[in-house]
């Protein structure tokens, strides 16, 4: 048996599983999205684009979920990337206790979403939560907030928890990028009279473009697929104030047994993901040739 055949036989099970569970079920979901399937015992009738037309024309909860997903994405990425870069620069400055701070920054990455959601739900509890309890203890009880029980603050609370969870990842990527800058470049800037701040602002940080692209891409994907953190912290409430696409899809498909309609929400999420992934890989491939 030739070596090429052996390699093919070795990777064949993986290819078959990826083809079935990724592409096969994606195609099946697309087919289901064109039906009104509601009962487990039947496949439903073909309704064409009715599910998609209803989503974008009359479904207010879907529109609110789409807007909430975009808001969560903007806040999550808009805070996580600058915060990760700032923490990576601090780690690179060889400050005293750097090892301890590195452990503290990366610790949230080791938490599961379930554990994080349980912890932040308790912290944001209006009555017994640690944040309001601390405010009352230091005489600032007037600043206590309803947090996740408020329709205006629930999404903001989720964004805080999500930023906390992923700031360590952003820090790790930027720290690797900064550590990869050749010392000669930084030394040359220092010889030219650049201060520490100028070296970072004009030399090192502008060279972190690949790291930024990587962090941006991965955070975008995670912001679209977030489910467990939202579901466990607020369940999409109060009302639909923190409902996002993934929780709306789950509620529609599995709580209300509207499988066809829920599949159409899943396909919309898939299309949004593709619209994000294609420019990223196009840009990545172009940079490899430059």
CA 13, 15, 18, 19 torsion-angle sign: negative
Asked if the model's pLDDT at residue 285 lies above 80, the reply is no
The answer as to whether 6 is a domain residue is no
Q: Evaluate whether 129 touches 72 at the Cβ level (below 8 Å).
A: no
DSSP letter at 46?
B
Q: How many helices (H) and strands (E) does the chain have?
A: 14, 0
Residue 287: the pLDDT is: 65
As a whole-number percent, the residues of the chain with pLDDT over 70 amount to 97
46-74 mean pLDDT: 92
> If 0-12 CB within 10 Å is exposed, 13-18 middle and 19+ buried, where does residue 13 land?
exposed
228-267 as b/e, with b when 16 or more CB fall inside 10 Å? ebbbbbbebebebbbbbbbbbbbbbbeeeebbbbbbbbbb
Could you give phi then psi for residue 46, rounded to 5 degrees?
-70, 125
Instruction: Give 257's pLDDT tier (boundaries 50, 70, 90).
Output: confident
Instruction: Give 83's pLDDT tier (boundaries 50, 70, 90).
Output: very high
Residue 142: the pLDDT is: 87
The tokens for 288 are: 């490899």
Residue 189: the pLDDT is: 82
The answer as to whether 25 is a domain residue is no
The tokens for 262 are: 């829920």
d(CA 245, CA 231): 11
Asked if the model's pLDDT at residue 135 lies above 80, the reply is yes
As a whole-number percent, the residues of the chain with pLDDT over 90 amount to 39
The residue that leads in pLDDT, 6 or 41, is 6
Asked if the model's pLDDT at residue 81 lies above 90, the reply is yes
25-45 mean pLDDT: 86
234-258 mean pLDDT: 90
pTM: 0.85
Instruction: Give 199's pLDDT tier (boundaries 50, 70, 90).
Output: confident
Residue 170: the pLDDT is: 92
Question: Pick from 226, 279, 217, 221: which is nearest to 68 by CA?
Answer: 226
d(CA 252, CA 98): 47
CATH, residue 89 = 1.10.3720.10
Q: How many domains does the chain have?
A: 1
Question: Pick from 266, 259, 251, 250: which is nearest to 45 by CA?
Answer: 259
Tracing tokens 């696409």 back to the chain, one arrives at 245
Instruction: Give 267's pLDDT tier (boundaries 50, 70, 90).
Output: very high
> If 0-12 CB within 10 Å is exposed, 13-18 middle and 19+ buried, where does residue 157 land?
buried
Residue 276: the pLDDT is: 80
160-178 mean pLDDT: 91
Asked if the model's pLDDT at residue 289 lies above 70, the reply is no
Measured in whole angstroms, how far is the alpha carbon of residue 191 from the centre of its chain? 41
Please write the tens of the pLDDT for every residue from 90-113.
Answer: 888 877 777 787 778 788 888 888
The answer as to whether 23 is a domain residue is no
The tokens for 89 are: 């620069």
The average confidence (pLDDT) of the chain is 87
The tokens for 127 are: 């009555």
Asked if the model's pLDDT at residue 265 lies above 90, the reply is yes
Q: What is the 3-state secondary structure (H, E, C) of 98-130?
A: HHHHHHHHHHHHHCCHHHHHHHHHHHCCCCCCH
The answer as to whether 5 is a domain residue is no
Domain that holds residue 209: 34-288
Tracing tokens 């309001």 back to the chain, one arrives at 132
The answer as to whether 147 is a domain residue is yes
The answer as to whether 8 is a domain residue is no
Torsion of CA 269, 275, 281, 287, to 10 degrees: -150
The answer as to whether 185 is a domain residue is yes
């Amino acid at each position: 048996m030739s070596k090429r055949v052996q390699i093919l036989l070795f990777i064949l099970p993986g290819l078959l599983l990826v083809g079935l569970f990724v592409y096969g079920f994606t195609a099946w979901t697309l087919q289901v999205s064109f039906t009104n399937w509601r009962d487990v015992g039947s496949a439903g009738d073909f309704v064409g684009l009715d599910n998609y037309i209803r989503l974008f024309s009359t479904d207010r909860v879907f529109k609110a979920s789409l807007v909430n997903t975009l808001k969560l994405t903007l806040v999550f990425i808009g805070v996580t990337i600058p915060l990760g870069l700032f923490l990576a620069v601090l780690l690179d400055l060889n400050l005293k206790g750097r090892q301890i701070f590195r452990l503290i920054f990366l610790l949230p990455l080791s938490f599961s979403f379930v554990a994080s959601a349980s912890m932040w739900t308790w912290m944001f509890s209006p009555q017994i939560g640690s944040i309001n309890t601390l405010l009352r203890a230091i005489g600032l009880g007037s600043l206590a907030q309803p947090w996740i029980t408020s329709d205006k603050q629930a999404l903001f609370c989720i964004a805080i928890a999500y930023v906390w969870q992923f700031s360590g990842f952003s820090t790790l990527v930027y720290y690797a990028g900064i550590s990869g800058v050749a010392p000669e470049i930084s030394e040359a800037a220092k010889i030219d009279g650049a201060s520490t701040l100028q070296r970072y602002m004009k030399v090192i940080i502008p060279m972190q473009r690949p790291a930024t692209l990587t962090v941006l891409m991965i955070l975008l994907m995670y912001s679209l697929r977030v489910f467990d953190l939202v579901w466990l912290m607020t369940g999409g409430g109060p009302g639909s104030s923190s409902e996002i696409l993934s929780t709306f899809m789950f509620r529609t498909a599995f709580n209300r047994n509207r499988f066809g309609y829920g599949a159409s929400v899943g396909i919309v999420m898939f299309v949004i993901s593709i619209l994000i992934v294609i420019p990223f890989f196009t840009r990545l491939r172009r940079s490899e040739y430059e």
